[in-house]
Structure 1
């Protein structure tokens, strides 16, 4: 199960960034996972929870976003979703000279830091109107 090594890597990278930026913790991490990356989102979520134990990320939420695999035909320029398993033959010209545009991604796309203790709530509080 290589999802544990992926989870440990994500936790390590985010924790280093949090410490260097002085963040007291992490609320949420979003990871983009390509359809062809070979990572199972549910397994990664489970491993992420284990990998966060005892770190600044303990209790953080992992949000995974699927990135569809897309290819483009070099001869005719048509682009399509390849599906899984990937169909790399162009339906328009039957050409096999294709370029994979997306689907192999595995990247941290967002991190939401925890607010420092005693920090004001960033949500504005509506003030009553004066009459």
Structure 2
């Protein structure tokens, strides 16, 4: 379950930034996660619930996840297209030579904190 590692890293970054800002507590954290990261939403939620309670700064905070679906560019004809994990052939020319544009993200978009 790599979601524990993902959430642990996110919480480390969030708590460091919140403490540097002088926050009293973290209210919510918004992430963008690409489908190709293969993170299971229920496992992310569970890991957040468990790990965020370990620090009073993040206890009770909410995790908001924005899913990013795969998008690629055909190296043959230049067409951009959305796809799933398994079907990456260009719908315009049929080429399998593609470059991934989106879908592997793991980004902290924002966090809401309570300041004194």
Q: TM-score range by the shorter chain?
A: over 0.9
Q: What SS class does the counterpart of residue 94 from structure 2 fall into?
A: coil
Q: Which has the higher helix share?
A: 2
* TM-score, scaled to structure 2: 0.93
Distance 1:33 1:99 in 2: 18
Q: Which has the higher strand share?
A: 2
Unaligned runs of 5+ in 2: none
CA RMSD of aligned residues (A): 1.1
Larger relative contact order, structure 1 or 2 (CA cutoff 8 Å, min sep 6): 2
String of CA shifts for 1:72-98, please: whole Å, max 9, x gaps: 101211111111x33121121111221
Q: State the 4+ residue runs in structure 1 displaced beyond 4 angstroms.
A: none
Q: What SS class does the counterpart of residue 104 from structure 1 fall into?
A: coil
Q: Is residue 22–residue 115 contact of structure 2 (8 Å, CA) maintained in 1?
A: no
Show the 5 A alignment for 1:1-131: 1-55=1-55, 56-83=57-84, 85-116=85-116
Aligned residues: 115
